[in-house]
Amino acid sequence: MSIDLIYVIAGAAMLLAAVLPALLERYAVSAAMVLLLLGMGIGLLPLPEGMRLDPLEIRPQIERVAEFTVLVALMGVGLALDRPLDLRRRASWRTWSPTWRLLGIAMPLTIGGVAVLGWGLGLAPAAALLLGAVLAPTDPVLASDVQVAGPAVDLDAAGGSSDDRADDTEGAEDVEDAEDADGSGLGEPVDEKDDVRFALTSEAGLNDGLAFPFVAAALLVAGAGSVSSWAVSSGLHWLAWDLVGKVVVGVVVGVVVGRGLARVAFRSKRPSLRLAEQGEPLLALAALVMTYGASQLLGGYGFLSVFACGMTLRAAERNHDYHRSMHEVVQRLERLLTLVILLLLGMAMTKGVLGELDWRGVLIALALVLVVRPLSGWFSLRVAARRADLPGGLGRKETLAAAFFGVRGIGSLYYLAYAAGEHEFDDERWLWSTVAFTILLSVMVHGTFATPVMRYLEGRRERAAGVGTT
């Protein structure tokens, strides 16, 4: 394949990526499916001289590209979420109920389920735990078909009366829940009406960072030689620092940087620094890079920091149109990066990355996508379930959708590349084959069902709203 042909193919692929979202809106086909299949087709052609797609040879490049793509997606997710989170109000926390359940219950269950299955199929404990941690987080990059569309801005929104109502009723739980139904008591309206999309989006924004402690645990187990040795030598340190300390540092850094940048962009005394008035959207990318670097320097989880920074920026002057501008530039960059990764991943699949795939890898992928994630998600969302008529409450059909659509993608590639750079695993080629096949399966299965299922749920919600107003 000549370099000139590569330019032609790359240009055609970029054009395709631009038109696919609108073109496929009515069909049960996602843009990720088309791009991945296109990459597999390109991979059947001879590669240009010097181009390598072996993940063991280009692991550092995979790690950095996947890392930056996930960071861009996390900033976009943080800016897109309309539902506020006031850490001082219990009512606000309750509207995020599906998120906490998917993170605190479904994610550990998924990690444990995949790890136990891998160990039972002959993987070493460290490799089995790593596979569970790598495949557990849902993806903010490839899940656009089931996520919120972007920040909703209402320039005419009124902001004062809800606080007065909240002050009159604070303290009674049944009244507090009634306030949740229309956003009263949160200081501003809850704009996000689709709880399934909100749950999947907020989960993807947070669990990419929360997978880090379990990847770290797998690396520590690999270094110690066994789970018991790791538990004795560094289990408490892992619990206090990797599982708790780094999470706290990451969130705090993101909030602090986000507040500082928001104060400058929206309320600086110097007009030249009020970027919101200028409409300069590159603040989002500056915030992303600055936040990630600061968090990593302080030992926190940078993924969490970037998401927290995005949410904090979104919370400032919530009805300012500047949020749309920032989200749009981030979304365009994310689309370009996703195009490159999907094409290369598809090419790698027909160039040997699936060469070590065996029945064990196929079984694990099928079990994760069709059994482990749906069951753990369903269990987490149905235990002491929140009333479906309140923000953060899901009906049975909505629960099924939120449990099923746990899309796997770019984050899994990053975590595996990162872990392989920290420790040499005997099963590394098999791990790459299994993770690549799982992503392929997830893209195809979830991409096929996303459009019809989400359309059905939206129609169901509209019909229910119509009945409620008559």
DSSP characters for 321-343? THHHHHHHHHHHHHHHHHHHHHH
Contact 352, 437 (CB under 8 A): no
CA 284 to chain centre: 17
Please tell me the predicted confidence (pLDDT) of residue 467.
62
Q: Whole-angstrom Cα distance, residue 255 to residue 429?
A: 39
Contact 417, 432 (CB under 8 A): no
Contact 284, 329 (CB under 8 A): yes
What proportions of the chain, in percent to the nearest 5, are helix, strand and coil? 70, 0, 30
Mean pLDDT of 396-404: 93
* 399: nearest Cα among 83, 97, 82: 97
Dig out the tokens for 375 from the structure: 């069951």
Report pTM.
0.88
Mean pLDDT of 123-130: 95
Mean pLDDT of 454-463: 83
CA distances from 223 to 107, 133, 149, 166, 263 (A): 24, 17, 43, 53, 45
Dig out the tokens for 407 from the structure: 């899309």
Please report which confidence band the pLDDT of residue 5 belongs to, taking 50, 70 and 90 as the band edges: low
The amino acid that residue 182 corresponds to is D
Please tell me the predicted confidence (pLDDT) of residue 277.
87
Mean pLDDT of 209-236: 89
Given a cut of 70, is residue 38 above it in pLDDT?
Answer: yes
Q: Whole-angstrom Cα distance, residue 137 to residue 139?
A: 6
Given a cut of 90, is residue 469 above it in pLDDT?
Answer: no
Angle at 188 between CA 186 and CA 189, to 5 degrees: 100
Please tell me the predicted confidence (pLDDT) of residue 172.
39
Q: 30-44, 70-84, 170-184, 454-468: which has the highest mean pLDDT?
A: 70-84
Of 87-96, 131-140, 252-261, 441-450, the least confident: 87-96
Mean pLDDT of 385-396: 83
Which segments of 374-456 are extended strands (E)?
Answer: none
Please tell me the predicted confidence (pLDDT) of residue 162.
36
Given a cut of 60, is residue 35 above it in pLDDT?
Answer: yes
128-170 pLDDT, tens digit each: 999 999 999 998 877 777 888 878 776 555 443 334 333 433 4
Q: Whole-angstrom Cα distance, residue 138 to residue 372?
A: 13
